Amino acid sequence: MGALGNVLGVVAILLGRIPAGGVAQVALDFSSVAIVIVAIFTGPRLGALTGLIAGIGPMVMFGYVYGSTGPITVLLPIGKALTGLFVGILAQLMGSNRKVRTPFILAAVWIGFIPEAILTWFYFVNLVPLFVQGGSFWAPGLALTVLVKGWTEMTIIAFLTVALIGNAGFRAFLGRLAPGQTLQ
């Protein structure tokens, strides 16, 4: 699922660049689809691990291919790991009987994204100005753009996850990937 997350992230980044005042680092990134599914289905540990793995492709794309932030972009996989961790924790807390309930899944995804959103804000407002020449002028504005894009992506991912996990065939497929895990 980490590899799938990388593919979903890199392909979306290549095809879904968003014009943002001449800055190339704003692009769609659907790597969190795999992260959220794993976190809800298997829990916080595998959700966090999937986030670390699925964040590698977007890290390379945003830090080295389309950007010049370089080493500080290592925070991107860490942010995705936080999303996997918190979505997994919330999914377990909200639905201990593992029944698929749309409001619980939507809430877990939206609330679980908050730590990554905070890290994203910190990254753009505090770190980019230190490591990128002229970043203090454009980074705070870019942070808002990236966060609006991120919340929009997570909303789409939340509804997609509800649809996928609500499908009996998909649940059976996930059950083969993670034996012992059952969604009802």
For 115, counting Cβ atoms within 10 Å of its Cβ (0-12 exposed, 13-18 middle, 19+ buried), the class is middle
Q: 6: how many CB neighbours lie within 10 A of its CB? A: 21
135-165 and 32-42 are packed helices; what angle lies between their axes, rounded to 10 degrees? 50
Tokens at 110, concatenated:
């939206």
Q: How high is the pLDDT of residue 17? A: 67
pTM here?
0.85
Q: How high is the pLDDT of residue 184? A: 40
Could you report the per-residue pLDDT of 114-163, keeping only the tens digit for each? 999 999 999 988 888 887 777 777 778 888 888 998 999 999 999 999 88
Name the 3-class secondary structure at 24: coil
Q: How high is the pLDDT of residue 84? A: 97
Which of 45 and 26 is assigned the larger pLDDT?
A: 45
> Domain map of the chain by residue range?
2-177
CATH topology for 2-177?
Answer: Arp2/3 complex 21 kDa subunit ARPC3 (1.10.1760)
